[in-house]
Amino acid sequence: MTTKRPPTALEKMGLNSPMALALHLPSRYEDETELFTIEEALGLGRFHSIQTQGVVIRNQVMFRPRRQLLVTIEDDTASLQLRFLNFYPSQQKQMAVGAHVRVRGEVREGYQGPEMVHPIVRAVTPDAPLPASLTPVYPASAGISQTIIRKAVLQALRDASLKESLAEFLPTKLMTEILPSNDWPPLQDAIAYLHQPPADANTQSLLERTHPAWRRVQFEELLAQQISLKRAHAIRRERRAPSFAKDQSVSKVSKKTTSIEDGLLKVLPFKLTGAQARVWAEIGADLSNTFPMNRLLQGDVGSGKTVIAALAAARAMDHGYQAAIMAPTEILAEQHYLKMQEWFGPLGIKIAWLSGSLKVKEKRLAQDIIESGEAQLIIGTHALIQDKVSFAKLGLAVIDEQHRFGVRQRLEIQQRVGSELFYCHQLMMSATPIPRTLAMTYYADLDVSVIDELPPGRKPIATKVVKAARRDEVISGLHDWLAKGLQAYWVCPLIEESEVLQLQTAVESFEQLTQALPNFKVGLVHGRLRSEEKAAVMAAFKANEIQLLVATTVIEVGVDVPNAALMVIEHAERFGYAQIHQLRGRVGRGSADSVCILMYAEPLSLAAKERLQTLRETSDGFVIAERDLSLRGPGELLGAKQSGDAMLRFVDLQRDAWLIELAQMAAERLLAEHGELVERHLERWLGSRTEFLKA
């Protein structure tokens, strides 16, 4: 019996074939093609990396102020000190007195004159030749040296099978008609160039990824993605789904003269805004189709997305089908449950609640009424996509804050609710607006609706940025605020490293504020409370039995208390754009003027300073989303990182936005005119990852 060998370090990185290695492109380059004397290096080396060489004349370990290795090299022109704060015995041996070494690094002013700190060191002969090309630096996992990767890549580039894998098969006519110029090299040449650019290459365009060789690779990758999305769109239209046409709903289900949808519109204590009515018309049209809806509903915090979800659910229930609403957190799912009870309770609709925190008996009871069809509307968390949940007749799935679910989870609910006979309609909702470039690339298979109008009475929120040193002033102002009969939130810092620390900070703030505001009731809510405890605190806050709510980010989404018009965010510099925008949206829901105070600790990084400044100046969710995209990248915004698969490796959606439209045009042409080439192109670029593009 042969034992299976463990994967190598390269295989663990996914570099298990010549093609995978060829597409493992450098993240940057080092210029080792030039060599300077030590005297020249001393004059040129400040602020940029430079290469020189010499003989080791001194090698000693010092203990002042900490253990460090000091090495001095010299040539015919001068001497230079090398300092290593962390080093191995092998490095000390490599730089023994008398050894000839080539070093690369930045020359800085040290305690005893010019020095290089932690330079790259190689033992060489004095006349060792210089490389003819720039030296690539590859993305690597811990424990894998650049030498190992470089050697493996060079070997892969010589592999005979690679010629076929990277062969040109895109039609010349298509390329010349769509591409802006003809200076893009063939794919094989582009990849070889990027791995081994010549010494005279334009290093700036290589680093910025705007070089023609990069453009060719980026275009091919985008083309594969667009083909996959367009094909998914076509496949969806071939699937069968129940048609929920408005004029057929009542007659199909019962002899009632009033549909659930009409009953809901009468129960609602408000009229739909113009934007809500427009969006509902778009979704209603989708629901009447015989193929599954796949729509993203975008709307800023407080724009009224929930009522649209309720109307869609009502339409499905009018046709005798179940509807499910899934939210990423229990607190948000509970808010939906309470709101739906308020709206659908008077209409006699049976609603099931399902979350991970339910007791076994309660969970089984919920699963039973879902499976029997007794439950018409099902609301819950990730628990809805567990194996034990079986729907009787699910016609609509609503996924709220869809970017908070991993791609696999979104696919799972699609697969769970589908059957060979029909698929259910799917509505995704997000208060985090998707920038246009992101929608064009990742959401080509989605129809997008935007609620771009706030309900009447919603007032703009004034945002103030305040130093943490003025905390006492903020608390004093908070006292005056509460004395007017208004309520407030105090959000504690997000400390990613430790949930325990975050909780500790929340408890400390709670105790301090309770002491500072003895005339008011202060409440505390955080992620470690049991769901019933959280619900009790939130209910007391909503009823104004609690005037100040101290919270961690569990209140980020789904909390609606119109009398709460002040939000204080402590250590705001630790939060991202989207989080602050979401938190800020918890206020401004009533008739009082609303304020959000962003309290920050100094010193501020440049990125944090820019973030707080932007949030103070704008409440436009799309502007904030564009800034967030440039900061975090598409993976985090979409939940793609949770899947473990990077969706686009070589494209920057802001820098390369103009390429997306070219790729879309080429994808349409390839699908229409050269169907036989589509599979080859997808296999080359995406392999097994195409399923993620359908989410």
Tens digits of residue pLDDT in 173-207: 888 888 776 678 889 999 999 999 988 888 888 88
Higher pLDDT, 562 or 636: 562
- Provide the CB-side half-sphere exposure for 549 (13 A, CA): 35
Can you list the domains of the chain with their CATH numbers?
9-25+150-201 (no CATH), 34-130 (2.40.50.140), 218-238+649-694 (no CATH), 246-451 (3.40.50.300), 461-618 (3.40.50.300)
Q: Which of 250, 253, 308, 254 is nearest to 284 (CA)?
A: 308
Residue 501 reports pLDDT greater than 60: no
Average pLDDT along the chain: 81
pLDDT digits 0-9 by tens, 472-483: 889 988 898 899
- Most confident residue range from 204-218, 351-365, 596-610: 204-218
CA 70 to CA 167: how far, in whole Å?
52
Q: What is the mean pLDDT of residues 494-499?
A: 46
CA 543 to CA 537: how far, in whole Å?
10
Q: Which of 294-303, 556-565, 577-586 has the lowest mean pLDDT?
A: 556-565
CA 123 to CA 115: how far, in whole Å?
19
Q: Which two tokens stand for residue 18?
A: 């010549």
- Residue 394's pLDDT band (cuts 50, 70, 90): confident
Q: Which of 468, 461, 465, 508 is nearest to 488 (CA)?
A: 461
CA 264 to CA 287: how far, in whole Å?
18
Q: What is the mean pLDDT of residues 536-561?
A: 78
Higher pLDDT, 262 or 493: 262
CA 612 to CA 42: how far, in whole Å?
41
- Residue 495's pLDDT band (cuts 50, 70, 90): very low
Q: What is the mean pLDDT of residues 265-273?
A: 89
Strands (E), 85-207: 100-105, 107-110, 113-117, 120-123, 135-137
CA 404 to CA 381: how far, in whole Å?
12
Name the pairing type of β-strands 425-430 and 548-551. unpaired
Higher pLDDT, 496 or 292: 292
Residue 74 reports pLDDT greater than 50: yes
Cα 615 → chain centroid? 19
CA 163 to CA 158: how far, in whole Å?
9
Higher pLDDT, 678 or 558: 678
| Per-residue pLDDT at 350 | 94
Residue 497 reports pLDDT greater than 50: no
- Residue 318's pLDDT band (cuts 50, 70, 90): very high
Q: Which two tokens stand for residue 304?
A: 């009224």
Q: What is the mean pLDDT of residues 505-532?
A: 83
Q: Which two tokens stand for residue 319?
A: 């046709």
Kindly state the DSSP code that residue 133 receives in the 8-state scheme: B
SS3 per residue for 444-484: CCCEEEEECCCCCCCCCEEEEEEEHHHHHHHHHHHHHHHHC
Q: Which of 483-492, 509-518, 624-633 has the lowest mean pLDDT?
A: 624-633
Distances from the Cα of 383 to the Cαs of 357, 387, 388, 427, 573, in angstroms?
9, 9, 9, 18, 34
Q: What is the mean pLDDT of residues 588-592?
A: 74
Q: What is the mean pLDDT of residues 608-637?
A: 67
- Residue 59's pLDDT band (cuts 50, 70, 90): very high
Would you state the torsion angle of the CA atoms of residues 665, 668, 672, 678, taken in this order, to the nearest 10 degrees?
110
Quote the longest CA-to-CA distance of the chain.
Answer: 102
Q: Which of 569, 560, 541, 548 is nearest to 482 (CA)?
A: 548
Residue 256 reports pLDDT greater than 70: no
- Residue 535's pLDDT band (cuts 50, 70, 90): confident
Residue 542 reports pLDDT greater than 60: yes
Helix (H, G, I), strand (E, B) or coil at 58: strand
| Per-residue pLDDT at 635 | 47
Side chain identity at 655, as an amino acid letter? Answer: R
Q: How many distinct helices (H) and strands (E) make up the chain?
A: 27, 22
Q: Which two tokens stand for residue 504?
A: 């500790």
Helix (H, G, I), strand (E, B) or coil at 102: strand
Residue 399 reports pLDDT greater than 50: yes
CA 180 to CA 216: how far, in whole Å?
11
CA 637 to CA 401: how far, in whole Å?
11
| Per-residue pLDDT at 616 | 84
Q: Which of 204-218, 638-652, 665-679 has the lowest mean pLDDT?
A: 638-652
Laid out side by side, the sheet with 120-123 consists of 107-110, 113-117, 79-84, 68-74, 50-62, 100-105, 120-123
Q: Which of 486-495, 523-532, 625-634 has the lowest mean pLDDT?
A: 625-634
- Most confident residue range from 1-5, 75-79, 184-188: 75-79
Residue 283 reports pLDDT greater than 80: yes
| Per-residue pLDDT at 553 | 66
Task: Answer yes or no: are the C-beta atoms of 207 and 636 closer than 8 Å.
Answer: no
CA 650 to CA 222: how far, in whole Å?
9
CA 278 to CA 389: how far, in whole Å?
34
For residue 87, how many other CB atoms are within 10 A of its CB?
Answer: 17
CA 418 to CA 429: how far, in whole Å?
20
The CA-based angle 468-470-474, given to 5 degrees, is: 100
- Residue 536's pLDDT band (cuts 50, 70, 90): confident
Q: Which two tokens stand for residue 428?
A: 């995704």
Q: Which of 313, 344, 347 is nearest to 424 (CA)?
A: 313
Would you state the torsion angle of the CA atoms of residues 110, 116, 118, 124, taken in this order, to the nearest 10 degrees?
-150
pLDDT digits 0-9 by tens, 652-672: 776 787 888 888 888 888 888
Residue 1 reports pLDDT greater than 60: no
Residue 240 reports pLDDT greater than 90: no
Higher pLDDT, 624 or 374: 374
Cα 55 → chain centroid? 50
